[in-house]
Amino acid sequence: MSDRLNSLYAKDVEYLLHPVTNARKHEEIGPIIIDRGEGIYVIDDQGNRYIEAMAGLWSVAVGFGEKRLAEAGYRQLLKLPYYHSFSHKSNEPAILLAERLVQMSPDRLKRCFFTNSGSEANDTVVKLIWYYNNARGKPEKKTFISRQGAYHGITITSGSLTGLPANHRDFDLPNIPVKHVTCPHFWRNALPGETEEEFATRLADELERTILDAGPETVAAFIGEPLMGAGGVFPPPATYWQKVQEVCRRYDVLLVADEVINGFGRLGTMFACDYYGIDPDVLVVSKQLTSSYAPLSAILFTDEIYQPVADNSARIGIFGHGFTTSAHPVSAAIALENLKIIEERDLVGNARAMGEVMQRELRKFADHPLVGEVRGVGLIAAVELVADKATKARFDPVGKAGGLVFNHGHRRGVIIRAIGDQIAFCPPMIITEDEVREMVARFGQALEDTAAALRAS
């Protein structure tokens, strides 16, 4: 290792606070410095090559090193590297992208607002809906309903919507009016003998009780990932979304679909709303919008929301919300090219076909003594590890096995994500059948390494 690289390691430990990381452990082990990417692979500064089975953070749809995205960004940097969208200003890529997103999204969504990340987008959704309810003379409608295990971001507001204890603990969250209802994880949370539809009915009844207990006049919206991602990959039970929609419509509660992870083909349809038959009032996208080559997110919403908001901005004289880099022209240009690639190469169809392969290959581990459940849809999946298959008992401490699989995965040349003891997969949508099989084989090796380590402990 060169002195230069040695100094990079030291500087990282000395100067960087890493997100979602144990800071003291990081001081001990230092970083893995990723140097470059090629297709579904990333390569570290030592030349070690890894299959990126998480597409970065659920996000690099077209793979790493896609020159068309770099060229699109470069062209826009030369033409107009930055401009804001305040005070009636705009730029061509943002206008064309807004049009494209509205045209490709569920029918009722007619307006677009740009932010920079999923967290900022969901933070903005809360403000937008509060503003909307104030504008229509219902200022008491402030409470959001989310779910245990949900992930909607990490700002103060979006972090409050998130239903993960580690993202709340010692951050004084939640700090907005939000209620969290049961996670729709059938394998863990269904009652003995309960069918998927009965489970869905029970959860819809819980949602209705929560609205009634709070008072429908106080509940603004229900927010949910169509397929829950960062909390552990939880596909909803059959009929769940239909029942949830019925409850929301009954009580004038807006339905917000958070497709930050699901969107742009991940489930084998352009949006997960298409897959599950969801008709949202608000749709949130990010990550695969630019394949994370540049920061960008978007909120799509109905004209029924837009009209009172627009009227209120006229009364006040301004819609007093936005960011310096909202509708950034370079990010928008990259997004437009990224969406062209997804369409031209039929990556949605590839995600559907390769998703079938991935789901089938991963389910071969269902009988493994460490595996409690294999679940997922399309090119997103999870393998949940358990200490006891018969009782579904978790490891003590939680994460004991998942951390081992994660570390052994690196040694086997595959980067996966351990969410406690749930091992997540979300590879780039360009992946081939041979690459899927190789990815799963490397995971299998890491799983066997983990089993051996647990037996020896």
Check if the beta carbon of residue 433 is closer than 8 Å to that of residue 361. no
Model confidence at 428: pLDDT above 60? yes
Q: Is 317 exposed, middle or buried (0-12, 13-18, 19+ CB in 10 A)?
A: exposed
* Average pLDDT over every residue of 253-258: 98
Model confidence at 4: pLDDT above 70? no
Q: Is 172 exposed, middle or buried (0-12, 13-18, 19+ CB in 10 A)?
A: exposed
User: How far does CA 75 lie from the centroid of its chain?
Assistant: 29
* Average pLDDT over every residue of 117-134: 98
**DSSP assignment, residue 39?**
B
Going by DSSP bridges, is the β-strand pair 254-258/219-224 parallel, antiparallel, or unpaired? parallel
Tokens 């890529």 — which residue?
93
Distance CA 451, CA 386 (A): 11
Model confidence at 5: pLDDT above 80? no
Query: How many residues in the chain?
Result: 457
Residue 457 pLDDT: 87
Q: Which of 6-10, 259-263, 373-377, 399-403 has the lowest mean pLDDT?
A: 6-10
Q: What is the mean pLDDT of the chain?
A: 97
* Average pLDDT over every residue of 140-149: 98
In this structure, which amino acid lies at residue 68?
Answer: R
Distance CA 249, CA 4 (A): 60
Model confidence at 1: pLDDT above 50? no
Measured CA distances, 67 to 73, 335, 346, 356 (Å): 10, 13, 18, 28
Choose among 297, 374, 366, 8: nearest CA to 125: 297
What value does the CA radius of gyration of the chain take, rounded to a whole number of Å?
22
Check if the beta carbon of residue 446 is closer than 8 Å to that of residue 409. yes
Choose among 378, 391, 374, 365: nearest CA to 450: 365
* Average pLDDT over every residue of 427-445: 98
Domains annotated for the chain, with CATH where assigned, are 32-62+346-456 (3.90.1150.10), 69-344 (3.40.640.10)
* Average pLDDT over every residue of 243-256: 98
pLDDT digits (tens, 9 = 90+) for 316-348: 999 999 999 999 999 999 999 999 999 999 999
* Average pLDDT over every residue of 33-41: 98
Confidence band (pLDDT; 50, 70, 90) for 3?
low
Residue 6 pLDDT: 67
Measured CA distances, 344 to 175, 337, 340, 371, 430 (Å): 44, 10, 6, 38, 12
Q: Is the peptide bond before 397 cis (omega within 30 degrees of 0)?
A: yes
Going by DSSP bridges, is the β-strand pair 254-258/414-415 parallel, antiparallel, or unpaired? unpaired
Q: For residue 124, give every residue at least 6 positions away whose Cβ sits within 8 Å of its Cβ, in sequence order, or none.
A: 113, 115, 299, 321
Tokens 């939000």 — which residue?
178
Check if the beta carbon of residue 418 is closer than 8 Å to that of residue 406. yes
Residue 303 pLDDT: 98
* Average pLDDT over every residue of 60-86: 98
Residue 394 pLDDT: 97
* Average pLDDT over every residue of 296-310: 98
Distance CA 426, CA 448 (A): 21
pLDDT digits (tens, 9 = 90+) for 173-206: 999 999 999 999 999 999 999 999 999 999 999 9
